[in-house]
């Protein structure tokens, strides 16, 4: 990635002050539990920084919702006037996300058993086994090397759509934030979200790891270069010591990277 791909003006100040009264008590309490979980290293630390760019009333999208780690905090942050659109193709995951929505009380949006990708169609989800047990957290869209894997696998199918098609169908605009954690399929999700990103410049929180991207013939460096080439007003951040810090490199010890404009922090 070239050094001039990221604007080098001063990093905008990040306000992480909790905003009260925007959502129901149960979802606020659940959000609080997730924040505690980050301190115990039971949840991803980036959860604490979502309030820097997600506001009450926002439209946000959670691709690869898994067990709802991001869906619940996002529901608190967008409040009663915002909407969270969650997508998880694995039956176990979508059941959990829907159950959490019931437990934490009504909030707008939807949890859908679907994958996001570059085009509409059907997807195959592969869940590997280890020591005789399925590793649901490593479930992924079938890649070019999965047919050559001699290990035991569980496979299921789910419909695939695109972020752009979903937003057009549901009248979702503007989109303020998109989180994507899909075990290496992130570039394909972004390919299907180009029109939405062109229009709204949502903040993007992406898992970027070479070990997963290689499954689809991609590399982290090329993926990041593509983002900065298409949208040069995005800066890349990582969550460091309680703040979003600009970075120009992908490193093995960091999984999640935020792409955001200066304006996203100043809303």
Per-residue pLDDT at 20:
43
More confident residue, 187 or 28: 187
Q: Which of 102, 104, 108, 105 has the alpha carbon at shortest distance from 86?
A: 108
All structural domains of the chain, each given as residue ranges with its CATH number in brackets, are 3-117+171-266 (3.40.50.150)
User: What integer is the mean pLDDT of 139-164?
Assistant: 80
Burial 189-211 (b: 16+ CB within 10 A, else e): bbbbbeebbeebbbbbbbbbbee
pLDDT at 138: 79
Please state the pTM of the whole predicted model.
Answer: 0.89
- Band (pLDDT 50/70/90 cuts) for residue 99 is very high
pLDDT digits (tens, 9 = 90+) for 212-234: 999 999 999 999 999 999 999 99
- The predicted-structure confidence for 58-79, as pLDDT tens digits, reads as follows 999 999 999 899 999 999 999 9
What is the residue-wise DSSP string for 26-50? HHHHHHHHHHHHHHTTSS-GGGGGG
């Amino acid at each position: 990635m070239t050094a001039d791909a990221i604007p080098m003006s001063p990093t905008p100040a990040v306000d992480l002050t909790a905003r009260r009264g925007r959502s129901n008590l149960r979802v606020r309490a659940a959000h609080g539990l997730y924040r505690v979980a980050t301190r115990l290293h039971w949840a991803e630390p980036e959860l604490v920084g979502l309030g820097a760019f997600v506001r009450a009333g926002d439209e946000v999208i959670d691709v690869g919702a898994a067990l709802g780690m991001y869906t619940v905090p996002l529901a608190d942050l967008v409040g009663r006037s915002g909407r969270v659109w969650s997508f998880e193709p694995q039956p176990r995951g979508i059941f959990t996300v829907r159950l959490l929505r019931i437990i934490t009380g009504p909030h707008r949006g939807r949890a859908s058993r679907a994958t996001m990708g570059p085009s509409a169609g059907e997807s195959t989800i592969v869940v590997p086994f280890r020591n005789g047990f399925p590793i649901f957290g490593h479930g992924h869209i079938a890649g070019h090397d999965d047919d050559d894997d001699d290990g035991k696998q569980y496979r299921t199918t789910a419909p695939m759509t695109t972020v752009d098609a979903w937003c057009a169908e549901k009248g979702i605009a503007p989109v303020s934030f998109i989180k994507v954690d899909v075990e290496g399929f992130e570039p394909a999700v972004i390919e299907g979200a180009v029109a939405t990103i062109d229009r709204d410049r949502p903040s993007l929180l992406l898992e970027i790891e070479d070990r997963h991207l290689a499954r689809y013939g991609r590399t982290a460096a090329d993926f990041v270069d593509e983002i900065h080439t298409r949208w040069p007003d995005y800066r890349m951040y990582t969550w460091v010591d309680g703040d979003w810090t600009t970075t120009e490199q992908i490193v093995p010890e960091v999984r999640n990277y935020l792409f955001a404009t200066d304006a996203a922090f100043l809303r």
